[in-house]
Amino acid sequence: MTLQAPSKFDEDHSLLFPLQEGRNVRVAVIDSGVNPRHPHINGIAGGVSIGEGGEIEPDSYSDVLGHGTAVMAAIQEKAREPEYFAVKLFHSTLRTHIDRLIQAIEWAIDQRMDVVNLSLGTRNSDHAARFEAVIARAHREGVLLVAAREAEGQPCFPGSLPGIFSVGLDWDCPRNRYRCEPVDGGIVFYASGYPRSLPGLPRERNLHGISFAVANMTGFIARACESFPRVDAGRPVELVRAALVAEAASSLAAP
């Protein structure tokens, strides 16, 4: 077996928004929880577990699946300074009920999070109306929801709906960059589907996919948010989006 060297990205600080690390930003990661003792995790401010019956257990977010830890690590690699909160929604498998997902998003809004990472979604369009309602609430309160636009070539909800920071997968995109394109009247952000590298493990054998494109993009969004202080209505969502588009364009124009 050929061993892959540790990712250069860990020492590469040529990120977009180079002077920003996400200071004074609160990020919620809705996933399988987090292992706060993992060497790639740079601190956790708190979190909850949401049970299958909707019960909320504060400070009970230990990750037994590993997915949430890898997602959190990918975000923290790009944005070291936010307060991070783990919302454990997956317990024994990477599956949950629509009611619990809506509940998790509403919890994040109630707790005045600035950015919510949703490395999950559904291809069932029957749930679109429920997502539209919670997206509208998030937008009113200045909460930025980040989710996958599609899964296996099919639209994914809520990530394909207006008002979301919609993310697509680009295997060729460097992990310290993203790009954006106008699609169907909105903007889609494209990022790498690879998480942080594990020494000695080829990246193809590590976790990878659209979940990590979303996570990588969430890190950039957290960095961008630092320029826009929270007011009573939360972060100015459209100003953050415009800054992300401008930064991507600027990076392409640079020599």
DSSP for residue 92: S
CATH assignment of 19-253?
3.40.50.200
pLDDT one-digit tens code per residue, 51-79: 989 999 999 999 999 999 999 999 999 99
Please provide the distance, in angstroms rounded to a whole number, between the alpha carbons at the two ends of the chain: 38
As given in the structure block, the two tokens for residue 157 are 């909800």
Question: Do the strands 186-191 and 179-183 form a parallel or antiparallel pair, or are they unpaired?
Answer: antiparallel
The angle subtended at Cα 163 by Cα 129 and Cα 190, nearest 5°, is 120
Amino acid occupying residue 218 = T
pLDDT band of residue 10 (cuts 50, 70, 90) is: very low
* Domain residue ranges of the chain, discontinuous segments joined by +: 19-253
Query: What is the tens place of the pLDDT at every residue in 26-60?
Result: 999 999 999 999 999 999 999 999 998 999 999 99
As a whole number, mean pLDDT of residues 139-163 equals 94
Share of the chain above pLDDT 70, in %: 89
- The model carries a pTM of 0.91
Q: Calculate mean pLDDT across residues 143-160.
A: 94
Tens-digit pLDDT profile for residues 127-141: 999 999 999 999 999
